Amino acid sequence: MSNNSTVLVIDDEEQILWLLEEALSDSFQVLTAKNSREAEKHLDNNKIDVCIIDLFLENETGFDLINSWKDKYDTKFIVITAQDTSSNVIESMQIGAIDFISKPFVLDEVKNKIAEAISIHKSQTEITKTEYDYQSKSKKMIEIYKLIGKVATSNINILITGETGTGKEVIARLIHKKSNRANKPFVALNMGAIPADLIESELFGHTKGAFTGATTDKPGKFEEANGGTIFLDEISEMDLNLQVKLLRVLQEKEIYRLGSNKPIKLDVRVIAATNKDLEQFIRDGKFREDLYYRLNVVNLELPPLRERKEDIPILIEHFLDKYKYIKNKTLTVTQEAMDKLVSYNWPGNIRELENIIQYLIVQATGESIKLKDLPDKIIKGHHNGNSIKKELFNLAEKLLNCHNESNDLSIFDEYLRIVEIPLIQAALEKTNNNKSAAAKILGINRNTLRKKIKEYNLE
């Protein structure tokens, strides 16, 4: 990156300004400011390519400054803050920031984000407050919040995927709260919880006499959601005949109640969710490909809790506060107990964690949750190995079921490749791309790691 590009760093911490100026000056022209007054002098007198701004300055916020500057100055904004809640990430992206950096940060990552920012157009959307505000240290979740910030105010359909218990409905509600439909209804429907013979009526409504027991006209969930958002959970459970009707609704933006030939016009955003592999369902003839592409305009793949362990203490604190009414006080967790909770594999994901925290609040006898209060399965970690073995076995079964003998790779080689790539990626991420350290963790030679990186194109 040419050092002809100019970066303005705005932060009220002297050490942050010094650190970033020292680290970035070999690649960029770097200017610094402790407040908006100093920053505006630089912005008025220089062409600033990228502006790195702390969200919470003394007596002012980055939100307000970006809002007031985004149309006045031709620059790109990257937000930096220690308060990396989901709301802060999403709102930053919505008001015009093109990236988000959590403190403490890795300097090479900051450099890369600046380089990327110089070639990216800023987006401009309004802030919408939300009650679904979760802090996260997980890079995967922050990327998801950033994407939500970019697409929430559009009307495009979204497919949320992830294991059971990863919080798909929470994310759907968050998208709704951040959208232009926030003041309209949000209607959730679990497709797997409704008897097959009732689901069409539940979705589209019915008229009096449409079937036995239909004694009055009844609007369906789509009508209830008109103007707002409908969330279709477990979309894979929908039978093929109903999939055809849903596809027509998405195309024509109108429905027919059962027993009526009068169309009802709709303005509804559809968010669907599943814990199944819909592409495999398509191959098996269980899900329509055309419907899949209608729903999957944007895909949000939620990571399982075992892949975002850095968020477990944050979630525990959230649930302790949420359920403090049980004992009319907020309990703490001893470090010994916290270590066990973090190391557990959480096969049931966030939903399991939430249930366990409710149990622990009841179980604890003092002011804190101690190791002795934890269930045996967490203390002994029974599910860790078993869960991983089960997942690997399921992967092997899938490969055996769908393997094409004309493939260049044998099943054995294909299996190793699938398992090996994320293992190498995780080691590189854990070591901030330090190949020597990653090779040491993996127990392989550094040259072997380099060959694998090149073979799998992981640079």
Residue 170 has pLDDT above 50, yes or no: yes
Highest-confidence segment of 10-19, 81-90, 226-235, 434-443: 226-235
Q: What is the pLDDT of residues 296-355, one digit of tens each?
A: 999 999 999 999 999 999 999 999 988 888 888 889 999 999 999 999 999 899 999 999
Cα–Cα distance, 63 to 77 (Å, whole number): 11
Contact criterion met (CB below 8 Å) for 415 and 395: yes
Residue 407 has pLDDT above 70, yes or no: no
Q: What are phi and psi of 125, to 5 degrees?
A: -140, 170
Q: How far is CA 216 from CA 201, 206, 210, 213, 311, in A?
A: 12, 8, 9, 9, 49
User: Rounded mean pLDDT of 173-183?
Assistant: 92
Least confident of 108-112, 181-185, 407-411, 448-452: 407-411
**DSSP secondary structure of 80-128:** EES--BHHHHHHHHHHTEEEEEESS--HHHHHHHHHHHTTS--------
Cα–Cα distance, 420 to 294 (Å, whole number): 33
Specify if 268 maps to a domain. Answer: yes
Please tell me whether residues 64 and 141 are part of one structural domain.
yes
User: What pLDDT sits at residue 179?
Assistant: 92
Rg, Å, the chain Cα set: 25
Residue 365 has pLDDT above 70, yes or no: yes
User: What pLDDT sits at residue 119?
Assistant: 58
Confidence of residue 2 (pLDDT cuts 50, 70, 90): very low
Specify if 21 maps to a domain. Answer: yes
Domain-ending residue, one of 131, 148, 165: 148
User: What pLDDT sits at residue 67?
Assistant: 84
Specify if 141 maps to a domain. Answer: yes
Nearest partner of 218 among 226, 227, 207, 229, judged by Cα: 207
- Gap between the terminal Cα atoms of the chain: 18
Q: What are phi and psi of 22, to 5 degrees?
A: -65, -45
Range of the domain at 314: 305-337+348-381
User: Rounded mean pLDDT of 279-285?
Assistant: 91
Q: What is the pLDDT of residues 31-84, one digit of tens each?
A: 999 998 899 999 888 888 899 998 888 888 888 888 888 878 888 899 888 876
Residue 8 has pLDDT above 80, yes or no: yes
* Higher-confidence position of 327 and 191: 191
Confidence of residue 282 (pLDDT cuts 50, 70, 90): very high
Please tell me whether residues 162 and 287 are part of one structural domain.
yes
Return the residue matching tokens 């075992």: 306
Cα–Cα distance, 180 to 151 (Å, whole number): 11
Two tokens at 230? 């409908």
Contact criterion met (CB below 8 Å) for 387 and 347: yes
Least confident of 14-23, 56-65, 204-213, 313-322: 204-213
Q: What is the pLDDT of residues 72-84, one digit of tens each?
A: 888 889 988 887 6
- Across-strand partners of 76? 50
Cα–Cα distance, 386 to 360 (Å, whole number): 24
Which pairing describes strands 60-61 and 76-81: parallel, antiparallel, or unpaired? unpaired
* Higher-confidence position of 220 and 393: 220
Specify if 56 maps to a domain. Answer: yes
Confidence of residue 382 (pLDDT cuts 50, 70, 90): low
Nearest partner of 16 among 86, 110, 89, 96, judged by Cα: 110
User: What pLDDT sits at residue 3?
Assistant: 57
Please tell me whether residues 22 and 86 are part of one structural domain.
yes
Mean pLDDT of the residues in the chain: 84
* % of the chain exceeding 70 in pLDDT: 92
* Higher-confidence position of 341 and 193: 341
Specify if 408 maps to a domain. Answer: yes
Contact criterion met (CB below 8 Å) for 381 and 346: no
Q: What are phi and psi of 399, to 5 degrees?
A: -65, -40
Please tell me whether residues 372 and 266 are part of one structural domain.
no
Confidence of residue 444 (pLDDT cuts 50, 70, 90): confident
Please tell me whether residues 260 and 314 are part of one structural domain.
no
Q: What is the pLDDT of residues 368-379, one digit of tens each?
A: 999 999 998 898
Nearest partner of 84 among 97, 75, 73, judged by Cα: 97
Return the residue matching tokens 């400011």: 33
Q: Which amino acid is at 196?
A: A
Contact criterion met (CB below 8 Å) for 26 and 110: no
* Higher-confidence position of 122 and 435: 435
Confidence of residue 244 (pLDDT cuts 50, 70, 90): very high
User: Rounded mean pLDDT of 76-93?
Assistant: 81
Specify if 448 maps to a domain. Answer: yes
Nearest partner of 222 among 197, 242, 195, judged by Cα: 242
Contact criterion met (CB below 8 Å) for 228 and 184: yes
Confidence of residue 388 (pLDDT cuts 50, 70, 90): low
Cα–Cα distance, 128 to 178 (Å, whole number): 5
CATH code for the domain of 443: 1.10.10.60
Specify if 249 maps to a domain. Answer: yes
CATH code for the domain of 321: 1.10.8.60
Quote the crossing angle between the two packed helices 435-442 and 446-455, to the nearest 10°: 100
Least confident of 82-91, 153-162, 283-292: 82-91
User: What pLDDT sits at residue 117?
Assistant: 75
As for how many domains the chain has, the answer is 4
Return the residue matching tokens 């506060």: 321
Specify if 235 maps to a domain. Answer: yes
Q: What is the pLDDT of residues 108-134, one digit of tens each?
A: 888 888 887 775 533 332 333 333 456
Return the residue matching tokens 């307000």: 64
Please tell me whether residues 143 and 167 are part of one structural domain.
no
Quote the crossing angle between the two packed helices 382-402 and 411-430, to the nearest 10°: 140
User: What pLDDT sits at residue 9?
Assistant: 92
Please tell me whether residues 10 and 144 are part of one structural domain.
yes
Residue 139 has pLDDT above 50, yes or no: yes
Two tokens at 190? 């679990």
Please tell me whether residues 223 and 273 are part of one structural domain.
yes
- Across-strand partners of 297? none
**DSSP secondary structure of 149-193:** HHHTTS---EEEE-STTS-HHHHHHHHHHTSTTTTS-EEEEEGGG
User: What pLDDT sits at residue 130?
Assistant: 36
User: What pLDDT sits at residue 233?
Assistant: 94
Q: 320 in helix, strand or coil?
A: helix
